[in-house]
Amino acid sequence: MVEPAPGEVSHLMVHTYRILIAFLILSWIFILLRVYTRTVIISNFGWDDTAMVSVGAIFTVYCGTIIYIFHHGGGTVIADFDQLNHLMKIATISESSYVLTMMLIKISLAIFFARIVVKRWHLTVIYVFVTLSVISSIATYLYIFLRCGPDLDQYLIRELIRDCTPIQLDIFMAYQQAVFNSLTDLAFLFMPVLVLWNSPMERRAKISVGVILVVATLGAVCSLIRFKYIKGVLKNGDYFYQAVHICMWSTIEAGTCIIAGCTATLRPLMKIALIQVQVTLPLSRLGSGAPPTSTTLKSSQQSNHRSSRMIRIPYNDLEYGISDPTGSTSLLPKIPEFVELVIRPDPVILAPVEDDTRPRPGSMFG
């Protein structure tokens, strides 16, 4: 692999910094939307949601360490021993927090898919892949801290005198974690396809859920691209000069997986938002003074009918579009079932009254 020029690395580090900030903000937005959906809309906050909130906290630590490294010499060749020794400790925290982030994302997705799979062998596949991924991640996490001994103050000295684990073992541990991580991503990528294929959902619901879950493909693609830059980081010497590319793709991979994992749970929120739009749109049309057409009235009645059906929906049907045999229902905010339409009446033309002063027969004057 051809080493990039210093100017190119510095430019790439700026882009990596911007990407990191963007994914950190987006990740927390989607995590908070997920928490709102699972606590307020469907009132079913589960272990997968707890794991995802933990992912957000650890991902924040990862981003914080990268930002610190960026402002203290990241992407450059560092010659000062004390500065290099200090940044190596921060880099160790960064690497370990990345491993924990990806491990907890896999656990959260495994719990999520375990609740919606329709066949026994689907569940077996989930358990096998997530178990292998967790074992691999824990082994990598321990290896990061112990490869040069438990004392991080001596980490750089032992690295310079070649008193750490051999480079072959470093390469093996780095690639095995990346391999199991990518395999789990691919397994979770095909799992929604199997679930949608075997579910009794209508075609429109399948398409909407499929579009939501296919976002996870980006995480799988990023984990595969990350392979290209692993070996460069394992070179002895200028670690912070070589680590820019893998840092960028690790950030994109983790951030994309968080967004995809949260987006898959936001279907109830999007349904409620769509219903609110369908109910509010006819009212705003009336408020503007325009007379409602027959199409507007019809759409209003249809939206009201749909909203009345959405008040009590089986939990899994609301969240995933799959029927729940237990018949448990979700708690949704009450949406008006009827819309009062005030229509200005058409002008009525009255016939002129004739001025007849002649006495009528049978009156007191006749």
Q: Which of 20, 52, 44 is nearest to 260 (CA)?
A: 52
- CA 155 to centroid of chain Cα atoms: 36
Which amino acid, one-letter code, is at 39? T
pLDDT, one tens digit per residue, over 308-323 is 444 334 444 444 444 4
Mean pLDDT across the stretch 177-200? 80
pLDDT for 157: 85
Kindly list the structural domains of the chain, giving each domain's residue range(s) and its CATH number in brackets, ordered by start. 6-265 (1.20.1070), 267-341 (no CATH)
pLDDT tens digits, 95-144: 999 999 999 999 998 898 888 777 888 889 889 999 999 999 999 999 99
Residues of the chain above pLDDT 90, percent: 23
Q: How far apart are the C-alpha atoms of 228 and 266, rounded to whole Å?
A: 34
Model confidence at 250: pLDDT above 50? yes
Range with the poorest average pLDDT among 171-180, 231-240, 275-284, 354-363: 354-363
For the four alpha carbons of 189, 191, 194 and 200, in that order, the dihedral sign comes to negative
Residue-wise pLDDT tens digits, 46-83: 899 999 999 999 999 999 999 998 888 766 667 777 88
Give me the pLDDT at residue 4, please.
Answer: 53
CA pair distance 199, 219, nearest whole angstrom: 25
Average pLDDT of the segment spanning 202-213 = 63
Mean per-residue pLDDT over the chain, rounded: 75
| Mean pLDDT in residue range 214-225 | 74
- Residue 342: left (phi > 0), alpha (psi -120 to 50), or beta? beta
pLDDT tens-digit series, residues 9-34: 667 778 888 999 999 999 999 999 99
Q: What is the pLDDT of residue 42?
A: 87
Select from 269, 346, 341, 241 the least CA-distant residue to 298.
Answer: 341
